[in-house]
Structures are given as C-alpha cells and as structure tokens.
Amino acid sequence: MKSEDEALPKVSIMIPTYNRAHYLAEAIETSLDQDYQNFEVIVSDNSSTDGTDERVKKYFRDPHFRYFRNDRNLGSLRNFENLIYSYATGEFGHYLMDDDYFIDRDHLKKAMRIVRKYDVGTVFSGSVSRYREEKIGRSLSLGLDEVVSRQWWLDNLCKTRGGLTFFPCNGSGMLFKIETAKRLDAFREGQLYGDYELAIKCILSESNTGYIKEPQYVERRHEEQDGRTSYPNAFQGTMIFHRVYQFGCDLGIDPRTMDQVRFRGFQYFTKAFLLHNWILEKGNSWSSLRGFLAELKKFDPRLPWAALRDPNTMAQFIFYDTFIYRFLKKLYLRLRVLAHRH
C-alpha cells in the first residue's frame, strides 16, 4: 500500500544548464529541499566546459537527483526538449532555470494543492527579481487569486499596469502536466521563446489555471542572461503570437478576442525584446528608427503606429544603451539596494 506522499502525483523539476556551475548549486539544492516527497530533480547539462560535471557529483547520492550530460552543445531549445521528452518521468513538470532558485520549500506542495482543489493542470507563481548586489529584490507577483479564469487572461494578457505586465512567470514559475506539454509539441525545433508559447497555450487550453501570489523563486538579473543578444532570435520568438492566435481560433475562441491578444503580445515583445536587440545591432539613429518601424510592420501593419504613439517605447528607443540610460540604470539599481537596506 502506497504512503500518502507516494500517492501524490510525481513532479519532475527540470534544470537545463550550460556553463553556470557558479549558480547551479543553489538551483539544485533548493529543489532537493522541497517538502514534497514524490519528485525528481533532473539536470540536463548542454556540454558545459566550466566543471559543472564535477560540481554536481556530490548530489548523486540523493535518490531524487538525476544528471545527464550532452556529448556536444545541442542548443538551448533542444536541451529543454530533451528534458520533457526523454528524461522526465513525472506526471507534472516544472522547469527551473539554472540561475534561478526556489525561496519556498513548500512550493511544490502549494502548487499541487491548487491542482487538486481546483482540478487545474497548470499553476503559475509569483517571483522576485534580484540583481547581484541586492539581498531582497523586487516582487514580480501579479497578485492574482488561486484560480484564474481563461476569460480573465484573454481580457488582460500582456496589458501593463503599475509597471507590471500581466504575463505569467513562465520559465521557472510554471507547473504543468507533462502530457499536455507533449500534446502541444512544446519546445520542438523552431519554437524560440518556447516557455512563453507553452504558458499561453496552457492558459487557452483550460477553463482555469492556478496561481500562487506569494513569490516562490528568485529570478537572477545579470549580464550573462540570454534573450537580448540577437534580433533575428527575438524576431522569430515574437512570431509565437501568430501561432497562439491560430491555436486559440482552432479551440473556438472568438477570432476578434484572439486578435487583441496577438496585438497586445506584439506590443509587449516590442518593448521587452525586439527594441533592445535592434538597437544593440543597428543603433538608435533616426534611420535606424525607420528601419525598426518597417520591421514592426512585418508583424502587424498597426504596430508601427502603436509604437510611435507609446511614450515609453519612444523614450527607450532614444535613450537605450546611451550614457544617460546607463547612468540612470546604475542610479536606479543603487537606490533599490539602499531602499532594501532600510
């Protein structure tokens, strides 16, 4: 006869990693420290060259821990894919980025309680954004109820209020059914920004999703992060909103509603990914601006005019990566550190 803990659904915590041995230990240890017995922690090492394989050996004696190392670097997307399709043995999956870490050892227990209470297949959670010098960081919780309807997400996804965009913490902040992820072909070849796509498709696939508003993990902010290094990647990543639109329409959701979600998604990614990558490669001259607006038109003919009318977007285009921007960012981070000390 199974114990109560063994009867609980198994959760696979999946940690893709590459050359972040200095961060990885905290991700592993806070995962192994979860107060939920039926789980596994899987590290997929994308052929790191910084001694990751040696540093993880001390965890081999823990029965919850499993480690795989690729013979060669397969690319980030393939590493994510292998975790779901080849390594995970749980009913539920939970990615944890190698530079993030849990701050609530009851996280899995809380998420699975919501799964059982509301019969949902996906649970999102709040997080804390922390730069190197900070001890506390800034909460990124959306402050939502334990159960959030699909209609609420359709009405609010990608809207910004009070400095926060209504988009679920999807990388390290999402527990989901592995069977659902496989059915949705999550992280298959060509799906850049696949964690964003999986999150939205899970929302659209269910009547309700769960949410834990208390921050459950820390998102480290540092110079080594991916996502803002290539405009072509950002361009391809933004295309997820075309696929999301079609996916929603295929589910029978009103095309006008899905068009609004798609357009808000384009606006969100314009400020979050497209703009910064474009400036780093093309600069922020007026000719560069004209080129950028032409790029936006490839997504939606309404998008260039929306960008021009948005003071935040235009201010970012003018000042991003300039002396003024770097000075203000440094001042902002300094003030954040001082505020937390008091």
pLDDT exceeds cutoff 60 at 340: no
Which of 143-152, 266-275, 326-335 is least confident?
326-335
Cα 247 to Cα 278: distance, rounded to the nearest angstrom: 28
Question: What tokens appear for 302 in the block?
Answer: 């309404």
User: For residue 164, what pLDDT band results from cuts at 50, 70 and 90?
Assistant: confident
Q: What pLDDT score does 252 carry?
A: 98
- DSSP assignment of 168-197: ---SSSEEEEHHHHHHTTTT-TT-TTHHHH
Per-residue pLDDT reduced to its tens digit, 54-109: 999 999 999 999 999 999 999 888 999 999 999 999 999 999 999 999 999 999 99
Q: What pLDDT score does 1 carry?
A: 39
Question: What tokens appear for 31 in the block?
Answer: 């995962």
Q: What pLDDT score does 227 carry?
A: 43
Cα 82 to Cα 74: distance, rounded to the nearest angstrom: 10
pLDDT exceeds cutoff 70 at 202: yes
Cα 64 to Cα 70: distance, rounded to the nearest angstrom: 20
Cα 170 to Cα 200: distance, rounded to the nearest angstrom: 9
pLDDT exceeds cutoff 60 at 327: yes
Tell me if residue 325 falls in helix, strand or coil.
Answer: helix
pLDDT exceeds cutoff 70 at 281: yes
* Percent over 70 (pLDDT), the chain: 89
Cα 49 to Cα 261: distance, rounded to the nearest angstrom: 41
Amino acid identity for residue 44 in this structure: S
What integer best gives the mean pLDDT of the chain? 90
User: Do 235 and 276 contact (CB within 8 A), yes or no?
Assistant: no
User: Which domains are present in the chain?
Assistant: 4-221 (3.90.550.10), 231-341 (no CATH)
Which of 1-5, 17-21, 247-251, 312-316 is least confident?
1-5
Cα 128 to Cα 4: distance, rounded to the nearest angstrom: 32
* Over residues 165-178, mean pLDDT: 93
Q: What pLDDT score does 2 carry?
A: 46
DSSP 56: G
Nearest one of 127, 100, 125 to 114, comparing CA atoms: 125
pLDDT exceeds cutoff 80 at 26: yes
User: Do 4 and 86 contact (CB within 8 A), yes or no?
Assistant: no
| Torsion angle of C-alpha atoms 194, 221, 164, 332, degrees rounded to 10 | -150
Q: What pLDDT score does 134 carry?
A: 63
Q: What pLDDT score does 331 carry?
A: 65
Per-residue pLDDT reduced to its tens digit, 107-119: 999 999 999 999 9
pLDDT exceeds cutoff 90 at 226: no
Q: What pLDDT score does 3 carry?
A: 47
* Percent over 90 (pLDDT), the chain: 77
